[in-house]
């Protein structure tokens, strides 16, 4: 790029390639030749942001447009921020090095809540007004999307508009309107009014939230005639025809996931009640094996990556997997391209597959029972029985694996100490399975690594009304679990910081009032709060105190199902009725069969096409001919 | 078939660290669709070796690497195929087939030629006096602590024109003088304040000593 920041500064910071761009497949255009300049920001450090598939998809898609130049920007690491502030350097994009504040758009991807303070910091480093209401005509339109946008309220004061749903679905239309609008010299408010009419576009300034005496929401009123009372999430109906990049950027820097990431399908059939991804990415839309192989061929050829990773929420549910895996192995193992399959259910098929992937080292296997007792697993609708877990482990031990990683959560609704102790019991039973396997067959020595995260009740899940544990309670349970696991000498236990989960819990279900807290916490210097050594809980405590607000209101308070929730005017597609039903079933310990067994009508997935209802865009519901 | 390629590390990639550069080259080779020989083991990896890595932030007009291909392709074709898919800043300048008996670049290289842009002007006579010293002693970090060593023998030539320094110095696995250390020593001698971030280094080429008298480029 045309470096606007001097080599003198770049030489003094850690990993300067984070700021210099120029990677293979990064797009070069002449800014003078385009109508729209779009700065796409992943509000994390480059190494993390570049690993995110969503960035590659939208970057590629926007740059397909000859009238648009999409450039990247990340949150500068703290050493770079210091240099920038000392030398009054405004935040710049990687492609041209131009200042973000000169762009038409600044779009944030919100992958998780702990990046919210980074969003504010990026605005500030760019020299863009932090609050939406203060932004002048010459400032970029600031927008945001991604999974967190399904509860946009915490950032409502800072973002001009949100894109709710798949980025591929609506952005083109927004940019078409913008181009027209820019030519006619319209004001930013006029543009926001125009797009507020589109599905999936939410302009928070066009809504007024009134509160009850105790802080709950009294009403959300539309105050601009162009806005809709409820904003529906937009989704791509057919992943076989929607945009997928054939030339993803190949970073120079070793990023978290430096490989080909191939998305197999979107949505999840499982319906685990704690998981908001499982509901938020519905309905179920798959790619055919043909599509996947075509996309893969292009990516292999154009990137030179030596690893392929198949991703989706639960890849084992894809019934085309045996065929796909065969094709990939036959075609690519000769070229020394390896295949990795995260999120596989452990069974005979997957173990056999892993054997064939020439995993000489028999790296560890991962199970996610999520809860220690069957009662709790039924409550969260984790369709996995103890027999299945032990059977999977036995098969693995017989196959020569001897390292097992187990993922659990603590602090689930209705949890008792018995459920915590159950985690250690399960570990003990797994060790028992290992010793049942004859010595000649099993590998030497067994190790079990247990990770138990602190549960965060999320919006748009059946547990969205539930109370979250306070951090002292999490910590008590951690001590209890630690003591229990000590009794199983082959097992290790990894802690998670409870306080981070508490703040995440606050932000996940927050309303607009929290905007002031986020602002204050950022002002106190909070950045990169997803990094445990940068997270500082006391800043949040102070901010709540200073504003006369309470964290308990957001995280430990149990909501009634008829309370107006901050995200009720956003319709992600899964109906509230369905969530209430799931919540009630959870309390009764009843499981809900997965979508393969039976469609539970989680929402109305028909679409309005010119006044007529289309058939459901959920492949599972539609049935027939679909390979999932 | 063994090959040697000479390539640039231009402005666009000057901040790419050594390991990241290796990976970028590996992926360039993959994209080029030429099949390189793999070493087997736990983690099969491409076998190629690079001569004397540059420090992060430095550019070069003459880097070298050796690699072995599974097939016999013409030198021109290798060069063309790699250049078609190389990241900006990496340009293959030359490719030559190697005989089985030839030494690997890493073992062959002995000298490097550099052009350094300084933040101050240096006069001819200052350089002359610097080189007229009996010994040019510096502190070098070794495993057994710091040692005083004489680097005069490592400097083949040293010239300055305004703020541009041209020099050829030891750059090899046996004898090695870091260009930054030379500049720092020179600054100290002249009485300039040295700020490592303010000098720009561009390597011009790498050489070995042919029959004990002439410097020859690696290809
Ligand atoms: S519509 Fe039916 S099949 Fe589709 S995701 Fe919802 S419950 Fe599952």
Q: Do B174 and B157 fall within a single domain?
A: yes
Q: Do B142 and B203 fall within a single domain?
A: yes
Per-residue pLDDT tens over the stretch A410-427: 999 999 999 999 999 999
Residue A627 has a pLDDT of 45
3-state secondary structure of A87: coil
Nearest to A303 among B27, B35, B197 (CB): B27
Residue A496 has a pLDDT of 85
Q: Do B99 and B115 fall within a single domain?
A: no
Determine whether the shortest distance from the Cβ of A551 to ligand 1 is under 6 A: no
Q: Do B95 and B180 fall within a single domain?
A: no
Q: Do B211 and B124 fall within a single domain?
A: yes
Mean pLDDT (whole number) for A146-167: 97
> How many domains is chain B built from?
2
d(CA B122, CA A204): 62
d(CA A376, CA A385): 11
Ligand 1 centroid vs B25 CA: distance in angstroms?
46
Residue B143 has a pLDDT of 83
Token pair 């390979």 is found at A627
Domain boundary among B39, B69, B104: B104
Query: Residue A365: pLDDT band by 50, 70, 90 thresholds?
Result: confident
pLDDT at A532 over 70: yes
Tell me which H or E stretch contains A411: none
Q: Do B116 and B213 fall within a single domain?
A: yes
**Residue B141 domain boundaries:** 111-217
Per-residue pLDDT tens over the stretch B125-153: 999 999 999 999 998 887 888 889 999 99
Residue A361 has a pLDDT of 52
**CATH number of the CATH domain containing B128:** 3.30.70
Residue ranges of chain A assigned to CATH 3.30.750.200 = 363-513+549-573
Query: Residue B45: pLDDT band by 50, 70, 90 thresholds?
Result: low
d(CA A607, CA A573): 11
Residue A328 has a pLDDT of 93
DSSP per-residue letters across A553-599 = HHHTPPPPTTSBPTTTTEE-SS-HHHHHHHHHHHHTT-----TTT--
Class of domain A363-513+549-573: alpha beta
pLDDT at A594 over 60: yes
Residue B35 has a pLDDT of 85
Determine whether the shortest distance from the Cβ of A266 to ligand 1 is under 6 A: no
Residue A384 has a pLDDT of 86
Q: Do B20 and B69 fall within a single domain?
A: yes
Task: Nearest chain A residue to B199 by CA: give it.
Answer: A8
**CATH number of the CATH domain containing B55:** 3.30.70.580
Determine whether the shortest distance from the Cβ of A126 to ligand 1 is under 6 A: no
B15 with A16: Cβ contact below 8 A: yes
Q: Do B100 and B29 fall within a single domain?
A: yes
DSSP per-residue letters across A507-535 = HHT--TTHHHHHHHHHHTT---TTSTTT-
Q: Do B27 and B67 fall within a single domain?
A: yes
- Does A332 contact B at CB distance below 8 Å? no
Q: Do B191 and B120 fall within a single domain?
A: yes
Per-residue pLDDT tens over the stretch A229-246: 999 999 999 999 999 999
pTM of the model: 0.95
Q: Do B153 and B61 fall within a single domain?
A: no
Query: In this structure, are residues A174 and A201 in contact, taking their beta carbons and an 8 Å threshold?
Result: yes
- Does B12 contact A at CB distance below 8 Å? yes
A253 with B20: Cβ contact below 8 A: yes
pLDDT at A353 over 90: no
Query: Residue A620: pLDDT band by 50, 70, 90 thresholds?
Result: confident
Ligand 1 centroid vs A204 CA: distance in angstroms?
30
d(CA A527, CA A123): 13
Q: Do B44 and B61 fall within a single domain?
A: yes
Determine whether the shortest distance from the Cβ of A265 to ligand 1 is under 6 A: no
pLDDT at B4 over 90: yes
Per-residue pLDDT tens over the stretch A299-319: 999 999 989 999 898 888 898
């Amino acid at each position: 790029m045309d470096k606007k920041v001097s080599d003198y500064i770049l030489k003094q910071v850690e990993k300067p390639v984070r700021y210099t761009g120029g990677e293979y497949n990064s797009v070069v255009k002449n800014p003078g030749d385009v109508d729209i300049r779009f700065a796409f920001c992943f509000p994390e450090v480059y190494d993390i942001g570049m690993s995110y598939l969503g960035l590659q998809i939208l970057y590629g898609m926007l740059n397909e447009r000859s009238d648009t130049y999409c450039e990247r920007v990340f949150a500068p690491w703290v050493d770079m921020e210091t240099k920038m502030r000392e030398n009054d350097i405004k935040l710049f994009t990687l492609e041209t090095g131009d200042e973000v504040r000169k762009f038409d758009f600044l779009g944030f991807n919100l992958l998780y809540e702990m990046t919210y303070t980074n969003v504010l910091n990026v605005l500030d480093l760019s020299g863009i007004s932090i609050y939406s209401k203060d932004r002048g005509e010459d400032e970029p339109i600031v927008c945001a999307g991604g999974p967190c946008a399904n509860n946009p309220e915490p950032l409502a004061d800072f973002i001009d508009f949100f894109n709710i749903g798949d980025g591929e679905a609506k952005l083109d239309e927004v940019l078409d309107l913008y181009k027209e609008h820019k030519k006619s010299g319209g004001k930013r408010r006029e543009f926001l009014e125009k797009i507020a009419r589109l599905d999936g576009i939410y302009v928070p300034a066009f809504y007024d939230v009134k509160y009850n005496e105790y802080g709950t929401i009294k009403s959300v009123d539309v105050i601009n005639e162009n806005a809709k009372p409820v904003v529906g999430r937009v989704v791509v109906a057919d992943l076989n025809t929607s945009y997928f990049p054939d030339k993803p950027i190949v970073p120079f820097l070793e990023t978290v996931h430096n490989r080909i990431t191939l998305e197999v399908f979107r949505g999840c059939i499982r319906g685990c009640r704690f998981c908001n991804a499982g509901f938020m990415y519905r309905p179920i839309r798959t790619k055919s094996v043909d599509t996947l192989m075509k996309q893969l061929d292009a990516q292999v050829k154009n990137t030179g990556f030596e690893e392929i990773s198949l991703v989706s929420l639960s890849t084992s549910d894809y019934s085309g997997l045996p065929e796909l895996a065969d094709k990939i192995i036959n075609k690519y193992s000769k070229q020394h391209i390896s295949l990795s399959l995260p999120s596989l259910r452990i069974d005979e098929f997957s173990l056999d597959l892993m054997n064939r992937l020439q995993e000489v080292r028999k790296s560890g296997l991962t199970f996610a029972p999520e809860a220690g007792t069957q009662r709790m697993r039924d409550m969260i609708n984790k369709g996995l029985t103890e027999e299945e877990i032990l059977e999977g482990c036995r098969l693995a031990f017989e196959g020569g694996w001897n390292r097992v990683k187990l993922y659990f959560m603590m602090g689930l609704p209705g949890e008792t100490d018995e459920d915590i102790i159950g985690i250690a019991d399960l570990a003990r039973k797994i060790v028992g399975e290992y010793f049942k396997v004859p010595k000649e067959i099993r590998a030497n020595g067994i190790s079990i690594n247990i990770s138990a995260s602190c549960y965060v009740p999320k919006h748009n899940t059946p547990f969205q009304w539930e109370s979250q544990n306070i951090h002292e309670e999490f910590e008590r349970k951690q001590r209890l679990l630690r003591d229990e696991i000590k009794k199983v000498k082959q097992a290790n236990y990894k802690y998670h910081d409870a306080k981070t989960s508490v703040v995440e819990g606050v932000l996940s279900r927050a309303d607009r009032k929290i905007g002031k807290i986020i602002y204050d916490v950022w002002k106190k210097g909070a950045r990169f709060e997803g990094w445990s050594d940068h997270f500082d809980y006391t800043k949040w405590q102070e901010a709540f105190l200073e504003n006369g607000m309470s964290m308990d209101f957001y995280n430990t308070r149990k909501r009634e199902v008829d309370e107006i929730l901050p995200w009720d005017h956003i319709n992600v597609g899964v109906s509230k009725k369905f969530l209430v039903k799931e919540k009630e079933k959870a309390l009764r310990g009843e499981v809900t069969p997965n979508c393969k067994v039976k469609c539970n009508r989680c929402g109305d997935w028909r679409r309005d096409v010119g006044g007529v209802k289309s058939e459901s865009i959920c492949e599972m519901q539609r049935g027939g001919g679909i390979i999932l | 078939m063994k090959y040697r390629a000479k390539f640039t590390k231009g402005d666009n990639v000057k901040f790419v660290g050594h390991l990241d550069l290796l990976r970028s080259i590996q992926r360039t080779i993959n994209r080029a669709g030429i099949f390189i020989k793999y070493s087997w083991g736990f983690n099969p990896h491409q076998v190629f070796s690079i001569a004397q890595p540059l420090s992060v932030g430095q550019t070069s007009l003459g880097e070298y690497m050796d690699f072995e291909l599974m097939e016999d392709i013409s030198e021109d074709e290798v060069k063309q195929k790699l250049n078609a898919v190389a990241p900006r800043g990496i340009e293959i300048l030359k490719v030559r087939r190697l005989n089985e008996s030839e030494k690997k670049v890493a073992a062959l290289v002995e000298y490097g030629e550099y052009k350094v842009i300084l933040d101050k002007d240096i006069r001819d006579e200052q350089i002359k006096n610097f080189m007229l010293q009996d010994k040019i002693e510096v502190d070098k970090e070794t495993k057994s602590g710091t040692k005083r060593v004489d680097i005069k023998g490592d400097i083949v030539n040293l010239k300055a024109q305004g703020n541009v320094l041209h020099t050829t110095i030891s750059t090899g696995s046996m004898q090695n003088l870091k260009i930054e250390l030379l500049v720092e020593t020179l600054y100290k001698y002249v009485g300039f304040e040295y700020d490592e971030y303010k000098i720009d280094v561009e390597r011009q080429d790498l050489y070995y000593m042919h029959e004990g008298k002439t410097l020859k480029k690696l290809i």
